[in-house]
Amino acid sequence: MSREVLETAYRDAGCGEIDASWVGREVRIAGWVHRRRDLGGLFFVDLRDRSGLLQLSFGPDRADAATLERVAELNPEDVLQATGVVARRPEGAVNPDMATGAVEIHVTGLERLAVSEPLPILVYRPPDEELPSEELRLQHRVLDLRRPEMQRNLRVRHRVTNAVRASLTEQGFIEVETPLLTRQTPEGARDYIVPSRVHRGRFYALPQSPQLYKQLLMVAGLDRYFQIAKCLRDEDLRADRQPEFTQIDVEMSFVREDDVFRAAERMFQRVWKEALEETLELPFRRMTHAEALERFGTDKPDLRIPWELADFTPALTGLGFGIFDGTASAGGRVRGLVVKGGAALSRARIEHYDGRARQAGARGALWLRRNDDGWSGPPAKVIGEETGRVLEGEFGVEPGDLVFLVAGNDAESSTALDVLRREVAVEVDAVRAKGGHWLWITEFPLFERDADTGLPVPAQHAFTMPVDPDPERIREDPLSVTARAYDIVYDGIEFASGSLRCHLPDVQRAILAATGLGSDEIERRFGFLLEAFRYGVPPHGGFAVGLDRVVAVIVGTPSIRDVIAFPKTTAARGLLEQSPSIIDPAELAELGIRVETSRSD
């Protein structure tokens, strides 16, 4: 940060910008009282602003009695302007933990610009003191944001967005803003609805993403578009979800997958260089969706964990173990995971993971332990010498290892073994310390079966180009269709999702019809898109990145609420401004709305 940035009528520089080169200069400085110390007539105040901390020193040799009296009355978070001379700290008083720890200001003049009342939460706290509850910090978010950690997070977010803009601009993209008041389109979550006062009985929807608008921009000939877009989804929340979130939205014309991949990789390379001073090696590794599920049980594999899933069906069926034989005869498989060094897990911990497999939808997890003197575990009774040699030779099972086995269909075993792989790896410290594994997952299914209705629903969204763009196949067997869709996964976290878009009107209609929409409904909801498609649509595609999630990973926090200035709680409430709020009945009447509440409300 250049020193000119924070220079104003109140100050010559930011607190964190004063260093030894300023020694002997008279300066004005301004900020908040971070901490005050009284050493018997000699006072020290740590003054804080966005740029950092600076120690102010007050003594009777340079400050009058009135000034010292005002210092003694200072509260935490009072706002001050101080005038004084920059001096080196005495030998032995240098603070290596402060960027400005070699200097201090010998204060000759002090003005209290604002008085702080007693604080509901403290900004300064000793390093070993725990933070207040998150609910209390969100309620007093303005104070929470004064903490250096939170200021650092928002500065990193700023650097990330700047790097995104710089990289995409260099690659020929232009930034275009799309509407926030739009119409309902099915994108997998519930929309937030806004009533129209002018058109009574009609409603806008807040966008879950700019998906259709960015496709229309490609039809309009913009060729390369991006936007740092605010998106809104009315869905159940978790640590990495918010009702409103920020998306890096990108679209390109006349492209195939490789073109999109290069643009995204160059963007992330710039972000990592600016935010972490790390150089990413390009291109990123690629893996199909089917391969990821087979090898890791998930489309978001964490490659820091060295273990892969294996198919034990040929080795462990036909031996007389009923569960395995019954699964195979029903068309299922016995899949498993070799936990290196896992034999040290107690029986109680093994049973815990059996329970976790059940919670994940499987019928449980059986286990085999390889001891120095043989095998133990429920299937051990059918493990003869020949089978033991197969387990050791083909699957690498050694003395001291543990094998978790899940019998069932692939969906059940994949989900359960993914849970076991991630959680057991943490417990036995098998996650490689060095991360940074980037991966493209490609060729997703176009549709998946809805768990409640059994009907096909888009695996990502309904505007993705199929690998085989045959309308008849889409109508007759939608669940067999593969999409030209892709994700970026970083150490088991989905960073980005995208696809080549369907630019063929008849194929797009078939995709929408496969979701259960009739022709009239398709026209009502998407007529504006299909109308534009009548006039020449270039092949196009793009991706969207969850900005909040990326920044959270960069700064090392598990919750995206730590990198959003004013987030909502997991109950979708804004505790600072007390939202959502009750609207005056007169205003609702003007909108033609009547609210019906239950007795419990």
Report how far residue 311's alpha carbon sits from residue 317's, in angstroms, rounded to the nearest whole number.
11
The per-residue pLDDT for 361 is 95
The per-residue pLDDT for 188 is 61
Spans of all domains in the chain: 15-114, 305-427
Average pLDDT taken over every residue of the chain: 94
- Could you tell me which CATH class the domain 305-427 is placed in? alpha beta
Percentage of the chain modeled with pLDDT above 90: 87
Percentage of the chain modeled with pLDDT above 70: 98
β-sheet bridge partners, residue 82? 29, 110
The per-residue pLDDT for 21 is 95
Between the CA of residue 112 and those of 17, 54, 117, 179, what are the distances in Å?
22, 17, 13, 45
The per-residue pLDDT for 576 is 95
What's the CATH code, domain 15-114? 2.40.50.140
Residues 53-70 pLDDT 10s: 999 999 888 888 888 899
Residues 177-225 pLDDT 10s: 999 999 987 656 789 999 999 999 999 999 999 999 999 999 999 999 9
Mean pLDDT over 10-21 rounds to: 95
Report how far residue 564's alpha carbon sits from residue 551's, in angstroms, rounded to the nearest whole number.
9
pLDDT at 372 over 60: yes
10 Å CB burial of residue 431 (0-12, 13-18, 19+) is middle
Nearest to 410 by CA among 352, 362, 366: 362
Longest Cα–Cα distance of the chain, Å, equals 94
User: Is residue 2 very low, low, confident or very high in pLDDT (cuts 50, 70, 90)?
Assistant: very low
Residues 465-484 pLDDT 10s: 999 999 999 999 999 999 99
The per-residue pLDDT for 587 is 92
**pTM as predicted:** 0.93
The per-residue pLDDT for 153 is 98
The per-residue pLDDT for 527 is 92
